């Protein structure tokens, strides 16, 4: 099986008001005459180049409204529709009866078997209902306890029209486990007598979003699959200390193949059992909330695993059900199945899936994986997006999935005003992060995916003295106005085997022998330490309206990331994060950790991520200097490998006294301590580089400093 990480490669009341415009007696034609279509004036004024595509925006919005209307008519509204996880799968009723419901339109018959009936394949048949649904009621036992006990195993037996008998896991299964040395996951009935009750409220949506991207299984120095409890006890305190206010959890939805990094989903409603129980995940999120940290789920609705016995594929014996029939229903690069977003029951399944993670586990939002594959019929395969607007409209756009994303965002933000949604899209589709009523898809943020690619390309191909400051600034600032971006220097993609982290590109094998702070830095370690800090701060300050870091990269985690697989003899050596390195006083990893922490704390004080885009006043090619201001904070970067500048003139807008607030050259950050933090810098009424004032500063080579105006009251 070929498995690739898919990363390579839109008030409840507002929507309800739209629905209430139509009485149950009205027809769709009546509705279309009555509903007011937005003019999208703000979007088109912001970007006049979108004007030729106004009809496309109108069509998308009308399709969304049609879906909302149909949900109101057929299901009583999206609130009930998206709570279908309360009726499908297996549910315990107040009298301890069990209600079971599945959608298997191609099946000839359905039966339930399991521990509860001695694995009898015929004793408990489902009753066929309309629209491909099947139902079964299990009365309680004589002692009034449920017929199926907590932690017992179950299977759906599917009889096909061709006479086959298939053993399947319910697509709505809430817990799946794997016996030692087994290949297939089992459906385990999860109904604990005393479930964990989360007590801490969700934090408010951060104004400045600082994300710690994390994988529970590798969150330990030990060569094993780490647990939810380990993450709660040992990693959450570090994340809090580092100043991140949001965690993005990867690989939580159940996936049979660990090395897929969580991107080949088999159990969409099941929290992965390899890290522990659902209650332990709930506790993790509850503790994070107690620290004021929001938690996002890396949700994969772009495709699904091809597994049949423990996945969605072939659930009812057909080659479609939840998916398009091949070839449309198969992704050639990911070797996976593609959802049919035009299907009513697929919409029920996916939208209820989002609601489940929000309601049951109290997640605070989602990072939607593989959006590019969803948006276009070509899935982005063999397509180089040039930025021509015609690439984002027309027949190549998959309107079914596009409207699904609009619907998902509209519902999520209506039900949960503080919900955060992030799109992973490499195409740069316009209006991805504009509200649906403006003609957009409704995401809050998009990932600025060109930034890490640029840093890797520079480190691989360009000599230090040939770094192009203008090109770097262009990459960091080249984003759609009015659409928020999450900037990052590197994510999990850059840590995967076959690539290297920034730290490894910079310092490589010397990280094994020369990272001790008890010995002088070699030239390689010195360069690597300084550039690692500068790259991250420049990305943090200039690259977006949010910032992301992958776990361990904040302290320059050595080596790559590789999960146990046949090709490495099932080794966990590289499937771990060596947090223990930070705890060693004599290693320089601690210095990088300290800088990352203080970078976040400085942003927390001044709030540049929540401010308008920066004004870049200097991008000097010969001096290798970049200067910009944002949120009334001045950033100065000297990337020159050897040249320091004693009285370097920099542009400042507001007059006043400035002092250093962050300095990458401080000794505790692995720098050389060349700057005096008692120094006060005073502006002069001398216009410079497009700003009203200027001042002179000392800026050592390979150093970045952040200065704040002492005469401004920062009310962030």
Q: Answer whether residue 15 shows pLDDT above 50.
A: no
Residue 515 shares a structural domain with residue 573: yes
Q: Answer whether residue 572 shows pLDDT above 90.
A: yes
The total number of structural domains that make up the chain? 3
Q: Answer whether residue 571 shows pLDDT above 60.
A: yes
pLDDT band of 39, cuts 50, 70, 90? low
Residue 663 belongs to a domain: yes
Residue 593 and residue 587: Cα distance in Å, rounded?
11
Residues forming beta bridges with residue 707, ordered by sequence position: 634, 660
Predicted local confidence at residue 499, as pLDDT: 75
> Which three-class secondary structure state does DSSP give residue 353?
helix
Q: Answer whether residue 636 shows pLDDT above 70.
A: yes
Predicted local confidence at residue 414, as pLDDT: 97
Average pLDDT over residues 157-162: 97
Residue 564 belongs to a domain: yes
Average pLDDT over residues 506-535: 96
What range does the domain containing 142 cover? 89-170
Average pLDDT over residues 591-616: 98
Nearest in space to 146 (alpha carbons), one of 109, 104, 99: 99
pLDDT band of 498, cuts 50, 70, 90? low
Residue 581 shares a structural domain with residue 635: no
Look up the CATH number of the domain holding residue 648: 2.60.40.1180
Q: Active site includes 586?
A: no
Residue 617 shares a structural domain with residue 577: no
Which tokens hold the place of 481?
């106005």
Residue 288 shares a structural domain with residue 400: yes
Using the 8-state DSSP alphabet, how is residue 87 labeled? T
The DSSP bridge pattern shows strands 633-638 and 546-550 to be unpaired
How many helices and strands (H and E) does the chain possess?
A: 17, 29
The fraction of the chain above a pLDDT of 90, given in percent, is 88
Neighbour tally for 519: CB within 10 Å: 11
Q: Answer whether residue 28 shows pLDDT above 90.
A: no
Q: Active site includes 25?
A: no
Residue 393 shares a structural domain with residue 290: yes
Q: Answer whether residue 21 shows pLDDT above 70.
A: no
Q: Answer whether residue 12 shows pLDDT above 50.
A: no
- Alpha-carbon distance values, 422 to 9, 15, 294, 375 (Å): 17, 21, 14, 15
Residue 234 shares a structural domain with residue 163: no
Predicted local confidence at residue 22, as pLDDT: 31
Whole-prediction pTM: 0.93
Residue 553 belongs to a domain: yes
Q: Of 32-36, 288-292, 647-651, which range is least confident?
A: 32-36
**For residues 209 and 544, is the Cβ–Cβ distance under 8 A?**
no
Average pLDDT over residues 320-343: 97
Residue 421 shares a structural domain with residue 551: yes
User: Which of 424, 444, 483, 490 is flagged as catalytic?
Assistant: 424
Q: Of 38-42, 376-380, 425-429, 627-631, which range is least confident?
A: 38-42
Q: Which of 587, 606, 625 is the last residue of a domain?
A: 606
What is the maximal distance between C-alpha atoms in the chain? 90
User: Which of 340, 369, 545, 598 is flagged as catalytic?
Assistant: 369
Residue 16 belongs to a domain: no
Residue 639 shares a structural domain with residue 657: yes
- Summarised one tens digit per residue, pLDDT across range 176-221 is 999 988 899 999 999 999 999 999 999 999 999 999 999 999 999 9
- Give how far the C-alpha of residue 144 lies from the chain's centroid of Cα atoms, to the nearest Å: 44
Residue 290 and residue 330: Cα distance in Å, rounded?
42
Look up the CATH number of the domain holding residue 580: 3.20.20.80
Predicted local confidence at residue 602, as pLDDT: 98
Q: Of 12-16, 141-145, 441-445, which range is least confident?
A: 12-16
Look up the CATH number of the domain holding residue 105: 2.60.40.10
Residue 47 belongs to a domain: no
Average pLDDT over residues 607-613: 97
More confident call, 9 vs 204:
204
Residue 387 belongs to a domain: yes
Work out the mean pLDDT of the chain and round it to a whole number.
93
pLDDT band of 642, cuts 50, 70, 90? very high
Residue 108 shares a structural domain with residue 252: no
pLDDT band of 40, cuts 50, 70, 90? confident
Predicted local confidence at residue 29, as pLDDT: 40
Q: Which of 606, 635, 650 is the last residue of a domain?
A: 606
- Summarised one tens digit per residue, pLDDT across range 98-157 is 999 999 999 999 999 999 999 999 999 999 999 999 999 999 999 999 999 999 999 999
Residue 154 shares a structural domain with residue 231: no
Residues forming beta bridges with residue 616, ordered by sequence position: 628
Q: Answer whether residue 476 shows pLDDT above 80.
A: yes
Residue 79 and residue 82: Cα distance in Å, rounded?
6
Residue 498 shares a structural domain with residue 567: yes
Q: Which of 170, 197, 219 is the last residue of a domain?
A: 170
**For residues 245 and 289, is the Cβ–Cβ distance under 8 A?**
no
**For residues 314 and 296, is the Cβ–Cβ distance under 8 A?**
no
- Give how far the C-alpha of residue 401 lies from the chain's centroid of Cα atoms, to the nearest Å: 18
Residue 320 belongs to a domain: no
Predicted local confidence at residue 491, as pLDDT: 87
Q: Answer whether residue 600 shows pLDDT above 50.
A: yes
Q: Answer whether residue 709 shows pLDDT above 90.
A: yes
Residue 260 and residue 251: Cα distance in Å, rounded?
9
Residue 256 belongs to a domain: yes
> Which three-class secondary structure state does DSSP give residue 591?
helix
Which tokens hold the place of 283?
């506790």
Residue 587 shares a structural domain with residue 627: no
């Amino acid at each position: 099986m070929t498995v690739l990480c898919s990363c390579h490669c839109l008030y409840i009341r507002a929507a309800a008001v739209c629905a209430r415009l139509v009485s149950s007696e009205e027809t769709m034609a009546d509705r279309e005459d009555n509903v007011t279509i937005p003019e999208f004036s703000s979007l088109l004024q912001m970007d006049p180049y979108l004007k030729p595509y106004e009809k496309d925006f109108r069509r998308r919005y009308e399709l969304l409204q049609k879906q909302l209307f149909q949900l109101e008519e057929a299901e009583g509204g999206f609130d009930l529709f998206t709570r279908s996880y309360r009726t499908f799968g297996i549910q315990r009723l107040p009298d301890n009866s069990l209600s079971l419901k599945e959608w298997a339109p191609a099946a000839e018959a359905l039966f339930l078997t399991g521990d509860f009936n001695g694995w009898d394949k015929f004793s408990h048949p489902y009753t066929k209902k309309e629209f491909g649904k099947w139902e079964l009621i299990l009365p309680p036992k004589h002692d009034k306890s449920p017929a199926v006990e907590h932690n017992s195993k179950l299977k759906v037996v599917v009889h096909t029209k061709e006479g086959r008998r298939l053993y399947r896991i319910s697509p709505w299964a809430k817990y799946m486990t794997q016996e030692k040395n087994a290949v297939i996951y089992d459906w385990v009935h999860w109904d604990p007598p005393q479930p964990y009750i989360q007590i801490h409220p969700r934090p408010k949506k951060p104004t400045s979003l600082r994300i710690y991207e994390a994988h529970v299984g590798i969150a330990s120095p030990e060569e094993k699959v780490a647990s939810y409890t380990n993450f709660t006890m040992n990693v959450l305190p570090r994340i809090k200390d580092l100043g991140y206010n949001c965690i993005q959890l990867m690989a939580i939805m159940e996936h049979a193949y660990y090395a897929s990094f969580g991107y080949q989903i088999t159990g969409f409603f099941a929290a992965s059992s390899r890290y522990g129980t659902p209650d332990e995940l709930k506790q993790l999120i509850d503790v994070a909330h107690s620290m004021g940290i929001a938690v996002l789920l890396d949700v994969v609705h772009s495709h699904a695993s091809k597994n049949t016995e423990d996945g969605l594929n072939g659930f009812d014996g057909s080659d479609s059900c939840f998916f398009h029939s091949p070839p449309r229903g198969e992704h050639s690069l990911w070797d996976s199945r593609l959802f049919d977003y035009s299907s009513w029951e697929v919409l029920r399944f996916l939208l209820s899936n989002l609601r489940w993670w929000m309601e049951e586990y109290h997640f605070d939002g989602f990072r939607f994986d593989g959006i590019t594959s969803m948006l276009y019929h070509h899935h982005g395969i063999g397509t180089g997006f040039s930025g021509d607007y015609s690439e984002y409209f027309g027949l190549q756009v998959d309107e079914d999935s596009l409207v699904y994303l609009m619907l998902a965002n509209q519902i999520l933000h209506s039900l949960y005003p503080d919900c955060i949604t992030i799109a992973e899209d490499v195409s740069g589709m316009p209006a991805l992060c504009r509200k649906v009523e403006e003609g957009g898809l409704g995401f809050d943020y998009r990932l600025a995916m060109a930034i890490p690619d640029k840093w890797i390309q520079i480190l691989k191909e360009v000599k230090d003295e040939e770094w192009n400051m203008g090109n770097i600034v262009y990459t960091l600032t080249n984003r759609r106005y009015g659409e928020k971006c999450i900037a990052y220097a590197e994510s999990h993609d850059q840590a995967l085997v076959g690539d290297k982290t920034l730290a490894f590109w910079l310092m490589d094998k010397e990280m094994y022998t020369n990272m001790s702070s008890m010995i002088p830095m070699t030239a390689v370690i010195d360069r690597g330490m300084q550039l690692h800090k500068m790259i991250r701060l420049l990305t943090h300050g200039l690259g977006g309206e949010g910032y992301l870091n992958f776990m361990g990269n904040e302290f320059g985690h050595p080596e790559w990331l590789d999960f146990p697989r046949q090709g490495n003899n099932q080794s966990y050596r590289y499937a771990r994060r060596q947090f223990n390195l930070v705890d060693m006083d004599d290693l320089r990893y601690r210095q990088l950790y300290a800088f990352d922490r203080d970078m976040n704390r400085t942003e927390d004080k001044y709030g540049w991520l929540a401010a308008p885009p920066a004004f870049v006043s200097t991008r000097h090619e010969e001096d290798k200097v970049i200067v910009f201001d944002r949120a009334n904070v001045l950033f100065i970067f000297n990337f020159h490998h050897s040249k320091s500048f004693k009285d370097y003139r920099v542009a400042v807008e507001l007059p006043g006294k400035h002092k250093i607030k962050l300095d990458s050259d401080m000794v505790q950050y692995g720098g050389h301590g060349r700057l005096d933090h008692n120094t006060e810098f005073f502006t002069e009424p001398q216009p410079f580089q497009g700003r009203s004032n200027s001042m002179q500063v000392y800026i050592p080579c390979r150093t970045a400093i952040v200065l704040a105006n002492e005469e401004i009251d920062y009310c962030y």
